[in-house]
């Protein structure tokens, strides 16, 4: 979620006090003494929210509100009012201000309003990104959702692997969308106009594989659950690949094939032949910031299938979803979206028994661990990636009992 707040107030003492309040709450504060000085920061791409005084010399808070909404009608602007300015503030609310607070305002009141505004802004920006992905002609952007760095890395990997024409091994946890990633690899490959044929490798016979190659000639065949392929068929597949299968072979597995090879449960040469190009799909627990985007997509999809209007998903509900482990990954999230659309009681595990602060703590802990994992346990790099001061980052690690060395590979 975005944590950026632009504070506009002509009183330097108030700006400093507000900036300190925001920094203590782990928010990124940007301060400015006037509308003119802040103007260049207010764009449609600004990923935070604005807090502005109404009464300022020159162009006041009304000018700022009008300008901000001319750039982006959904940009939250919170106005601060002095004593006696309440009628003016009410008028500002009528003109689209997100909220207003009377000065001096209690830190808790300000932070509560800011949290609501930041959640709203994050949802707006994520919806826009999802819409861009859906409208994109790039299959990786259109079909592989997510706003996280892991999602970006997955799309980049697919784009680099697909044009090669080589065998591809797609690895991921159960329910993570292995088949979908395989299809995107096919669509972006030189044989993307040809057929895409998928079969489970469990119980596959020699004749079954031969028939599969014939059906997928000029395109791609996807061997799902390749770890369960019978030993005899593994030799046949290897032999056919070595002399030319006549089709691109993409294999998928939820199992560590290298361990199976070491245990004698999978043909070593076939493993190395299939593992020419590897694509790893991260679990939802590794990229929790993608859960709101994916869930809302599934909700819209389920509502369309049910022929009903898409229900609103509140920020608090999304936070509760982000706090879950989701061992079934995207598949279980899709089921949750269907239940949500149909008005069935939502089973969100432990989050039902936790307050919002506890749920947020679970999400925060997971994001810290994910950042350390991406940075190979390097705490300084992880802090920079999360845009946190090092002291704040280390304080959070201590609070959750997280040790960076546990995430070094």
Residue 358 has pLDDT above 80, yes or no: no
Comparison of pLDDT for 219 and 124, the residue scoring more: 219
Report whether pLDDT(355) > 60. no
Q: Do domains 139-282 and 285-407 have the same CATH topology?
A: no
- pLDDT in the model for residue 135: 64
Contact of 326 with 291, CB cutoff 8 Å:
yes
Looking up tokens 């003494």, which residue turns up?
33
CATH of domain 285-407: 1.10.8.60
pLDDT score, position 360: 63
Has residue 369 got a pLDDT over 50? yes
Give percent of the chain above pLDDT 90: 38
In degrees rounded to 5, what are phi and psi of residue 323?
-80, -10
The better pLDDT of the pair 204, 350 is held by 204
pLDDT class for 171, splitting at 50, 70, 90? very high
Architecture of the 4-131 domain = 3-Layer(aba) Sandwich (3.40)
CA diameter of the chain: 85
The residue that leads in pLDDT, 278 or 388, is: 278
Q: For 273, how many CA atoms within 13 A lie in the half-sphere containing its CB?
A: 20
Do residues 178 and 224 lie in contact, with contact meaning Cβ atoms separated by under 8 Å? Answer: yes
pLDDT band of residue 1 (cuts 50, 70, 90) is: low
CA 87, chain centre distance (Å): 41
Over residues 353-380, mean pLDDT: 71
Radius of gyration of the chain (CA): 26
Instruction: Give yes or no for residue 381 having a pLDDT over 90.
Output: no
Phi, psi for residue 357 in degrees, rounded to 5: -65, -40
pLDDT (0 to 100) of residue 357: 61
Q: Categorize the per-residue pLDDT at 304 as very low, low, confident or very high, splitting at 50, 70 and 90.
A: confident
Question: What's the whole-number average pLDDT of the chain?
Answer: 85
What pLDDT was estimated at residue 349?
A: 46
208 to 215, 232, 267, 269, 355: CA distances (angstroms): 11, 12, 19, 21, 53
With beta carbons less than 8 A apart as the criterion, state whether 368 and 375 touch. no
Q: What is the mean pLDDT of residues 62-88?
A: 84
pLDDT at res. 374: 75
Task: Note the pLDDT of residue 228.
Answer: 94
* CATH of 139-282 given 1.10.760.10, 3.40.50.150, 3.40.50.11030, 3.40.50.300: 3.40.50.300
Query: Per-residue pLDDT tens for 100-130?
Result: 888 888 898 899 999 889 888 887 887 777 6
**Is the separation of the CB atoms in 160 and 134 below 8 Å?**
no
Q: Cα separation of 196 and 151, whole Å?
A: 24
Percent of the chain having pLDDT more than 70? Answer: 91
Six-digit token string for 113:
């309003």
Where is mean pLDDT largest: 82-91, 207-216, 299-308?
207-216
Of 126-135, 174-183, 235-244, least confident by mean pLDDT is: 126-135
With cut-offs at 50, 70 and 90, classify the pLDDT of residue 258. very high
User: Which of the given ranges, 61-70, 141-150, 389-398, has the highest pLDDT on average?
Assistant: 61-70
Instruction: Please state the rounded mean pLDDT for residues 59-78.
Output: 90
Report the alpha-carbon distance of residue 81 to residue 78 in Å, rounded: 10
Would you say residue 84 has pLDDT above 70? no
Predicted confidence at residue 351, as pLDDT, reads 45
- What are the strands of the beta sheet with 220-224, ordered from one edge? 196-200, 220-224, 248-253, 168-171, 277-280
Average pLDDT over residues 23-29: 89
Phi-psi region of 183 (alpha: psi -120 to 50; beta: other; left: phi over 0): alpha
For residues 181 and 205, is the Cβ–Cβ distance under 8 A? no
C-alpha separations of 105 from 62, 109, 112, 214 in Å: 20, 7, 11, 72
Of 67-76, 312-321, 377-386, which has the strongest mean pLDDT? Answer: 67-76
What does the alpha-carbon distance between residue 252 and residue 268 come to, in Å, rounded to a whole number? 16
Q: CA 297 to CA 131: how far, in whole Å?
A: 10
Q: What is the pLDDT of residue 368?
A: 82
pLDDT by residue (tens digit) across 124-168? 887 777 667 656 667 777 778 788 889 989 999 999 999 998 999
Is a pLDDT exceeding 70 seen at residue 347? no
- Ordered by start, the domain boundaries in the chain are 4-131, 139-282, 285-407
- Residue 213 pLDDT more than 70? yes
């Amino acid at each position: 979620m975005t944590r950026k707040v632009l504070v506009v107030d002509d009183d330097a003492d108030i700006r400093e006090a507000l900036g300190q309040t925001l920094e203590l709450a782990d928010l990124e504060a940007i301060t400015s003494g006037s509308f003119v000085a802040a103007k260049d920061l207010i764009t449609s791409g600004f990923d935070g929210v604005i807090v502005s005084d109404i009464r300022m010399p020159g162009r006041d808070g009304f000018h700022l509100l009008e300008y901000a909404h001319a750039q982006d009608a959904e940009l939250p602007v919170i106005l601060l009012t002095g004593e006696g300015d309440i009628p003016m503030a009410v008028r500002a609310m009528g003109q689209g201000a997100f909220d207003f607070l009377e000065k001096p305002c209690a830190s808790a009141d300000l932070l509560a309003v800011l949290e609501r505004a930041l959640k709203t802004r994050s949802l707006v920006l994520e919806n826009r990104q999802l819409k861009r992905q859906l409208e994109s002609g790039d299959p990786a952007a259109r079909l592989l959702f997510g706003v996280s760095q892991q999602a970006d890395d997955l799309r980049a990997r697919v784009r680099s692997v697909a044009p090669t024409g080589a065998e591809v091994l797609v690895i991921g946890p159960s329910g993570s969308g292995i088949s979908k990633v395989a299809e995107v690899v096919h669509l972006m490959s030189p044989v993307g106009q040809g057929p895409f044929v998928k079969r489970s490798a469990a119980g596959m016979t020699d004749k079954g594989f031969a028939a599969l190659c014939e059906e997928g000639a000029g395109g791609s065949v996807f061997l799902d659950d390749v770890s369960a392929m019978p030993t005899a068929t593994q030799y046949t597949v290897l032999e056919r690949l070595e002399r030319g299968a006549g089709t691109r072979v993409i294999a998928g597995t939820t199992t560590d094939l290298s361990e199976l090879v070491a245990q004698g449960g999978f043909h070593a040469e076939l493993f190395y032949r299939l593992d020419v190009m590897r694509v790893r799909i991260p679990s939802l627990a590794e990229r929790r910031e993608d859960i709101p985007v994916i869930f809302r997509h599934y909700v819209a999809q389920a509502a369309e299938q049910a022929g009903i209007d898409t229900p609103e998903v509140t920020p608090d509900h999304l936070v509760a979803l982000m706090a879950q482990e989701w061992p079934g990954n995207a598949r279980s999230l899709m089921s949750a979206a269907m239940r949500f659309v149909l008005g069935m009681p939502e089973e969100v595990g432990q989050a039902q028994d936790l307050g919002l602060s506890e749920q947020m703590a679970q999400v925060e802990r997971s994001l810290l661990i994910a950042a350390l994992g991406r940075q190979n346990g390097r705490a300084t790099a992880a802090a920079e990636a999360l845009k946190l001061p090092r002291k704040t980052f280390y304080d959070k690690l201590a609070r959750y009992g997280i040790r960076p060395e546990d995430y070094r590979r």
